[in-house]
Amino acid sequence: MNWPSNLNPGCNSQSKERWSWWLSNLLGMGNVLMPMVQITMLQGRTAEQKRKIAKRVTDALVEEAGARREAITIAFCEVSKESYASGGELMVDKVK
């Protein structure tokens, strides 16, 4: 799938392939799962940490937005410090 410049899923080419598969299969079934949450963060979190984050975000959407638990989709997009900037400065260049 070629992504229009205004609809770029970010991350890397592997993420784009997963998004393409997900979108084509999901939209092909005639069902759109909502809400869809994408969390972009620096690399380094464990599967257990992501599991806990996914549960808490899902719980919040169920409780506060009235979303159906089974309809909530969460995607984690991990980026390297070389590919993430804050305040105009790459994270790899920031002093701790």
Catalytic residues: 35
| Separation of alpha carbons 44 and 53, rounded Å | 14
| Separation of alpha carbons 18 and 16, rounded Å | 5
**Greatest pairwise CA separation for the chain in angstroms:** 49
Task: Spell out the alpha helix ranges (H) of 1-96.
Answer: 13-28, 47-65
